[in-house]
Amino acid sequence: MKKHNFYAGPSILSEYTIRQTADAIINFEGTGLSLMEISHRSKQFVAVCDQARALIKELLQIPEEFEVVFLGGGASLQFAMAPYNFLENKAAYLDSGSWASKAIKEAKMFGEVLVAGSSKADNYSYIPKNLEIPADADYFYYCSNNTIFGTEMHEDPKPGVPVIADMSSDIFSRPIDFSNYSLIFAGAQKNLAPSGVTLVIVRKSMLGKVSRPIPTMLNYKTHVENESMFNTPPVVPIYAALQTLLWYKELGGMEAIHKMNKQKAALLYDEIDNNPLFKGTVTCKEDRSIMNVCFVMAEGYEALEDEFNKYASEAGMVGIKGHRSVGGFRASIYNAMPLASVQALVDTMKSFAQLKTKK
């Protein structure tokens, strides 16, 4: 039986991405070589990399002044690389979850960090509002989707200073307004490809401004100037990313995908709000993520948590256990998650409630 894959990351990929990549691992574009053993400087692979970058620009409608590069090191390396390249004096950071707080820790090594707002005291159950962002900050940093806590900022902030965003778990889920961004980064393993590659979108005119020297590999300029080929890039994940991007184009692009995502999320949140056994963990409904849906057993039903986990797993659901810092359940419903799988989870919640409430 094909599983309903709700893992938070690495996570579900489209069948198209998996099949195309599997084929290329056996025989890459008729070369008689595996994708895993071909030179990254071969003309066939350079074409893959160029096409993937071009398709990202096309799908997200990225303005000319930005460049797209593929890096290693995961999103976590960007927590240090961003301030290394952009933090001269001080920066404002939004403390909206574990990933943001890890980024704050790294940034403190490079300059003064002002916390523009924090929901830590409430276990990150909402996105802080009324942010304090000084006009002379080098940049404002935030994480657009808090994968662990299931909160998301649905609009691109306009704080009056350049913006840096960790979009690891919601990139390609909606259109983006690039006007205020200096840098957007995303680990690939949620909405794009297997783990191993990080997508970086950087505004070229913002580079080369900090006074400190930057090691070659940690300098965005190096990778922009060498079009992601300064050193060996993660060849297989980039190929898989291209397949996902082609599939996104086929689906109709960002507006169409955003619409499907909102529909899937609404279906599941509706069940959480109406099923007496469950309740959502995000305290501000407008901050609910359309990618990671967090919920727990409602009051009086807490003891049923393990039983529901088992019940759902018997129905083919995988990966719905919540992160240990929140508990309960988390259903990650990334772009590749079919509506039918969300419906299957909803049906499972309904039948479990019937089982438990009938006298």
Establish if 281 lies at the interface with ligand PLP (CB under 6 A).
Answer: no
Establish if 11 lies at the interface with ligand PLP (CB under 6 A).
Answer: no
Establish if 338 lies at the interface with ligand PLP (CB under 6 A).
Answer: no
Binding residue for ligand PLP, selected from 147, 173, 341, 348, defined by CB under 6 A: 147
Name the residue whose CB lies closest to ligand PLP.
74
Min dist. Cβ of residue 9 to ligand PLP (A): 5
Stretch that binds ligand PLP, among 17-25, 36-44, 163-171, 266-274 (CB under 6 A): 163-171
Establish if 222 lies at the interface with ligand PLP (CB under 6 A).
Answer: no
Establish if 168 lies at the interface with ligand PLP (CB under 6 A).
Answer: yes
Residue 10 or 117 with smaller CB distance to ligand PLP: 10
Q: 150, 170 in Cβ contact below 8 A?
A: no
> At residue 253, what is the residue type?
G
Binding residue for ligand PLP, selected from 150, 187, 194, 237, defined by CB under 6 A: 187
> At residue 81, what is the residue type?
M
Residue 318 or 355 with smaller CB distance to ligand PLP: 318
Min dist. Cβ of residue 182 to ligand PLP (A): 18
> Residue 108's CB: how many other CB atoms inside 10 A?
14
Q: If you compute the radius of gyration of the chain from its CA atoms, what whole number of angstroms results? A: 21
Three-state SS string over the chain comes to CCCEECCCCCCCCCHHHHHHHHHHHHCHHHCCCCHHHCCCCCHHHHHHHHHHHHHHHHHHCCCCCEEEEEECCHHHHHHHHHHHHHCCCEEEEEECCHHHHHHHHHHCCCCEEEEEEECHHHCCCCCCCCCCCCCCCCCEEEECEECCCCEECCCCCCCCCCEEEECCCCCCCCCCCHHHEEEEEEECCCCCCCCCCEEEEEEHHHCCCCCCCCCHHHCHHHHHHCCCCCCCCCHHHHHHHHHHHHHHHHHCHHHHHHHHHHHHHHHHHHHHHHCCCEEECCCCHHHECCCEEEEEECCCCHHHHHHHHHHHHHCCEECCECCCCCCCEEEECCCCCCHHHHHHHHHHHHHHHHHHHCC
Stretch that binds ligand PLP, among 161-169, 272-280, 309-317, 329-337 (CB under 6 A): 161-169
Establish if 99 lies at the interface with ligand PLP (CB under 6 A).
Answer: yes
Min dist. Cβ of residue 166 to ligand PLP (A): 5
Residue 167 or 224 with smaller CB distance to ligand PLP: 167
Considering only residues 59 through 88, tell me which ones interact with ligand PLP, judged by CB under 6 A: 74-76
Establish if 243 lies at the interface with ligand PLP (CB under 6 A).
Answer: no
Establish if 166 lies at the interface with ligand PLP (CB under 6 A).
Answer: yes
Min dist. Cβ of residue 164 to ligand PLP (A): 13
Catalytic residue IDs: 99, 166, 190
Establish if 101 lies at the interface with ligand PLP (CB under 6 A).
Answer: no
Establish if 138 lies at the interface with ligand PLP (CB under 6 A).
Answer: no
What residue ranges bind ligand PLP (CB under 6 A)? 9, 74-76, 99, 143, 147, 166, 168-169, 187, 190
